[in-house]
A and B are shown apart, each in its own frame.
With several copies, the nearest count.
Chain A
Amino acid sequence: MSVLINKDTKVIVQGITGGMGKTHAALMQKYGTKIVGGVTPGKGGQEINGVPVFDSVTEAKQKTGANCSVIFVPPYLALDAALEAIDAEIPLISVITEGMVPQDAVKLHARAKAKGVLVNGPNCPGIITPGECLIGIHPGSIYMPGRIGLISRSGTLTYEIGLGLKQAGIGISTAVGIGGDPIIGIDQIKSLELFEADKDTDLIILVGEIGGTAEEDAAEYIKAKIKKPVIGYIAGRTAPPGKRMGHAGAIISGNKGTAESKTKAFEAAGVQVAKTPSEIIELVKKRIAVAA
C-alpha cells in the first residue's frame, strides 16, 4: 500500500514542546497520523495535544510502542536527539531540522548505518502516505492516495507535483522528501529500492536538482535494478555554477553536479526527463493511458 509509513506507524515527536514540534504534531494528528507521544528532555510528564511527553526516547518507546520518530529539535541538538532514537532502536527516524552541521550529519549517518536504522533527512519535509500517515511538514491536503511513488530533494517542489497530480486526478502511494542537504540518510537509491518492491506503486517520479552526483548514481541503479517506469526532473538547469541555490546541497562545484550531466544519466537509464513541473504530470498521464 505504501513504503516506509502507513496507517499503523506509531510516531513520536522529538522536540514536541518547541514551536515547530508543537505546531506540526497537531497538524500530523489532524491528518490522521498516530502520534503516540513526544520527547523533550526536562519536560517529561506534560501532555501536548493529548499525548504524553517523555524525558527520553527509550522511555517513550517502552510506554508507547513507537516505531518512528520525527525530529524537530534545534540544529545543534539534532545529532544527540537522532543518536538517542538510534540507540533506542527506533527503526525509522525523520530529521526535519534545517541547518544541521555537516560534520554532525556524518556522525549521524555513520551510526545509523552501523545500526541498520533508516534516517530520513536532515533538512527534509518528511514522508507522506496519503490518507494514512504523514510525518514531517508536508501540507497533507495537497496529495491524494494513489499508485505513484514520489521521491524528491525539495519540499515545496514536491508539493507542487503532488498538487499537479491531484488536479489531474492522480494519487500517490508515498512521497519521500529526502532533503536538500549534501549528507542525507534515505537517498534516491534507497527510495527507489523501496518503491520497486512495493506492490502498490506502479510508477516512480524522481525529482532531483543540481549538486552532487546522487542522480547519476540513482541512474546507474535504475539501469541495473528498477523495472518500474521512472519519470525524472532536475531543478536548477539554469543555475549559475559556484552558487548555492538555497539548499546546502544545491551547488555546481567545478564541473560537478550540473543538470546536464544528471539529465544525460537519467536518459541513459531509460528515465523520461520532464523539462517543467507541469510536463511531469503530462508524462505521468501518458504512461497511465498506455498502461490502461
Chain B
Amino acid sequence: MRLREYEAKQLFKESGISIPPGMVIKCAEEVFGIKNFPCTLKTQVLTGGRGKAGGIKFADNANDAYAKAQDIFKLKVKGDLPTAILVEPKVTIKKELYVSILIDRAYRGPIIMASAEGGVEIESSNSIQIVPIPEGNYSSYLGRKMATQLGLSGADVLKFGDIVNKLWNVYTKFDCDLVEINPLIVDGDNNYVALDGKVTINEDALGRQPRFDGMLSEHLTDLGEREFKGKMCGLNIVELEGNIGILCNGAGLTMATMDLVFHHGGKPSNFLDVGGGASKDHVARALDLVASSETVKVLLVNILGGITDCVEVANALKYYKDIRPEAKMVVRLVGNNEAAAADVMKAAGIETTNILDDAVSKAVAIAG
C-alpha cells in the first residue's frame, strides 16, 4: 500500500526526520489560511509523474494559490484525481540527494540505496550507491558508510547518517516494502530535510499494522475498476487490453495461459488468478468480475485442480450458465474430482476440453 506524500511525511516527522512545515488542504478555499508565501502546491495522488502532469505549482500570494489549487483539484494524473493538496513554503535548496531502504531480492535482505544527485529520474541514474544491511542487522555505521560512499564528509556524514537511522526505524516499525526520500535536501541552514517521500507498506503486513486499518481501499486509486473490485474480494486481477476474459488458478498457470492466448493470436482482456481451493461462490464472483468488462467476448476458464475441487468450479460455471445463457465460455477443467465435475458440466450443457492448447485456440477463434 503506497502512502500519499503527506502521509509518508507524517511517519517521517514522527520518527524525527525534518520535513517542511506543510499544510494539507482538502478544498481550494483553504489556501486563504496559508501564512508563508511563496509556497508550493502539490497534488496528493498515488501515481508517479505528477510534476510533468502539472500537479505541482508555485504560488506567490493567496489569490494566485487559490487559482492554482482549483486547477490542481480538477487535474487527473494518470486517471487519479486528488482529494488533497499539500502546501509547503518554498525552501532554499543547497543540495539534493536521494536515499531509500528496500529489500533487494538477489541479496535476500534490505539495502540502503542512495545518490548524491536527488531528483526524479533516480532509477536510471548511474550515481546510485548501495550499502547492504548485513543479515538485516542495522547499526548506525551503515548510514554513515553510505554517506562516505556518496562523497559526504565531516558533519554531513553525521547528519546524513542520522536520517538513515530514522528511515530504518520507519522501515522496520511499519513493515515497509520501501521507504524513500527524494529529494532529501540540504537547506539554507545546512539541515537535511525530506522534501518528498514515498512509503509503501507491505500489504501482507496490514493485518499487524493497526495504524493503517481501513486505509487500503482509499489507497488503490491507481487501480482500474475490475482490479479494485477484485482486490476487495480477494481476487488477483490485472487489466489487459484484449477481449478474451481469463479465469485461471495459480499465478504461473494464469500467466502461461495469458501467454498462450497471445501465442495463438488472441488478446486477453485480463489476468485473473482465482487462487487455490476456491469455492463455488468465489469462482462465481470471479466469473462475474471478468465478464463485467464490455470488451470481453469470450470467457476462457483454465483450472487445474490441486487444492481446488473441480466440482466447485463446475457448479460455479453451471450457475453462471443459468444466469447468463448467452455468454460464451471455453472451459478446461482437469485434476482433483475431474470426473464428477465432468458430469456437472455435461448436465449443464457446457463443453469442455482437456487439452490446454485446444481450449486456447478455440477461445481465440470465438473472440475473432
Contacts and interface: CB of A to CB of B under 8 A. Distances in A.
A101 B157 contact: no
B291 to A, nearest CB: 20
A237 B139 CA distance: 41
A102 interface: yes
Given A163-B334, A276-B357, A246 B259 contact: no
A58 B148 CA distance: 9
Interface string A241-256: 0011111111000100
B259 A238 contact: yes
| Residue among B157, B249, B255 with max Cβ neighbours from chain A (10 Å) | B255
Nearest to B172: A103
A30 B115 CA distance: 42
B164 to A, nearest CB: 12
Given A55-B148, A56-B157, A245-B271, A153 B141 contact: no
B125 to A, nearest CB: 12
A125 B148 contact: no
Given A55-B147, A246-B254, A137 B307 contact: yes
Nearest to A257: B105
Contacts of B253: 154-157, 159-160, 235
Contacts of A278: 356-357
B144 A55 contact: yes
B183 interface: no
Interface stretch (A4-12, A74-82, A224-232): A74-82
B51 interface: no
A182 interface: yes
Nearest to A81: B141
A101 B172 CA distance: 11
A262 interface: no
B252 A107 contact: no
Interface in A145-168: 152-160, 163
A213 B263 CA distance: 24
B252 A235 contact: yes
A101 B252 contact: no
A157 B250 contact: yes
B256 A235 contact: yes
| Residue among B108, B260, B263 with max Cβ neighbours from chain A (10 Å) | B108
B157 A42 contact: yes
A254 B121 CA distance: 11
A160 to B, nearest CB: 6
Contacts of A244: 236, 238
Contact of A56 (B148, B251, B260, B356): B148
Contacts of B185: none
Given A76-B207, A102-B177, A180 B251 contact: yes
Contacts of B276: 137, 155
B204 A100 contact: yes
B141 A183 contact: no
A217 B110 CA distance: 19
Contacts of B273: 245-246
Interface residues of A, number: 75
Interface stretch (A190-198, A204-212, A264-272): A204-212
Contact of B108 (A106, A125, A157, A163): A106
A169 interface: no
Contact of A42 (B108, B124, B158, B177): B158
A109 B105 contact: no
Given A183-B108, A276-B357, A278-B356, A156 B304 contact: yes
Contact of B335 (A55, A139, A209): A139
A233 B259 CA distance: 11
A276 B263 contact: yes
B157 A182 contact: no
A80 B177 contact: no
A276 B260 contact: yes
A22 interface: no
B240 interface: yes
B202 interface: yes
Contacts of B157: 41-42, 44, 55-56
Interface string A270-291: 0000011110000000000000
Contact of A101 (B154, B204, B249): B204
B215 to A, nearest CB: 17
A290 B202 CA distance: 49
Interface of A: 41-45, 54-59, 75-76, 79-81, 83-84, 87, 99-103, 106-107, 109-111, 114, 125, 137-139, 142, 152-160, 163, 180, 182-183, 207, 209-210, 212-214, 217, 233, 235-240, 243-250, 254, 275-278
18 contacts: A43-B154, A45-B154, A55-B157, A56-B141, A56-B145, A56-B157, A57-B141, A87-B142, A101-B204, A107-B136, A152-B252, A155-B253, A156-B248, A182-B105, A183-B108, A238-B262, A245-B271, A277-B260
| Chain A to chain B: the 6 pairs with minimum beta-carbon distance, closest first | A154-B252, A246-B251, A156-B250, A157-B252, A84-B141, A156-B253
